Amino acid sequence: MRLSKKERQHLVKQSFHDDPFLTDEELAKRCQVSIQTIRLDRMELAIPELRERIKHLAEDQYRVRSLSLEEVIGELIDIELNKSGISVFEIKKEHVFARNQIARGHYLFAQANSLAIAIVDAEIALTGSAGIRFLRPVRFGDKCIAYAKVVKSQLGRLQIDVQTRVNGETVFQGVFDVYRANEDGHVE
């Protein structure tokens, strides 16, 4: 059964309130309308696009110290300084090799590394070393969800485990040794 415009817009507003990470595509399926209709509804209701909603949530909720939110590769979803964090990165055309649509590895590394740096509660945090493994190819259109967790903390250094998953399957693993530094770049 089709909803009236007023009912649909109420549902759109409530849906984005309940889940700000909802995509236009997901909501279009839920409302049984086109993506364009959802975009028009969002514009009329002054609801920003997904990227902007996430950015506003992150700015309001998270106080990342070690880098700016624009420097995080992917969208920061959750962070608990010196403990854990989650980011989402969607593989687009500019991230893949043209001939086979497989993501270039440096994007997965950059997502994981920037997330590891972001969870460090320091003005300057630098990667000292990283042990990484690519477990399977990631392709155009995949949504990569990276989970970072501090597994060891020593004087001025953190060891952070990052796992990236696509549809629940781990595609990348990394252990990052990150150190806090002073303005001169020396370990604190």
Look-up: residue for tokens 């949530």?
57
pLDDT of residue 36: 93
Q: Which helix (H) or strand (E) holds 86?
A: strand 84-90
Look-up: residue for tokens 């590895």?
105
CA 40 to chain centroid, in Å, comes to: 26
Residue-wise burial string across 130-168, b where 16 or more C-beta atoms lie within 10 A, e elsewhere: beeeeeeebebebebbbbbbbeeeeeeebbbbbbbebee
Residue-wise burial string across 51-82, b where 16 or more C-beta atoms lie within 10 A, e elsewhere: eebbbebbeeebebebeeeeebbbbbbebebe
pLDDT tens-digit readout, 5-22: 999 999 888 887 777 777
pLDDT of residue 183: 66
pLDDT tens-digit readout, 139-183: 999 999 999 999 999 888 999 999 999 999 999 999 999 998 766
Q: Which amino acid makes up residue 78? A: D
The stretches of the chain forming alpha helices (DSSP H) are 5-18, 24-31, 35-44, 50-61, 105-118
What rounded mean pLDDT belongs to the chain? Answer: 87
CATH class of 5-57: mainly alpha
pLDDT of residue 54: 65
Pairing of strands 169-180, 125-134: antiparallel
Question: Which span out of 12-26, 52-66, 70-84 was modeled with the highest average pLDDT?
Answer: 70-84
Mean pLDDT within 47-59: 68
Q: Compute the distance between CA of residue 140 and CA of residue 24 in angstroms, rounded to an integer.
A: 19
Mean pLDDT within 71-88: 88
Higher-confidence position of 177 and 23 = 177
C-beta of residue 68 within 8 angstroms of C-beta of residue 123: no
- Give the fold, CATH level 3, of 65-181: Thiol Ester Dehydrase; Chain A (3.10.129)
pTM: 0.68
Q: Compute the distance between CA of residue 142 and CA of residue 6 in angstroms, rounded to an integer.
A: 34
Q: Compute the distance between CA of residue 10 and CA of residue 111 in angstroms, rounded to an integer.
A: 35
Instruction: Using a pLDDT cut of 70, give the percent of the chain over it.
Output: 88
Asked if residue 187 has pLDDT above 70, the reply is no
Domain range annotation of the chain: 5-57, 65-181
pLDDT tens-digit readout, 99-154: 999 999 999 999 999 999 999 988 889 999 999 999 999 999 999 999 999 999 98
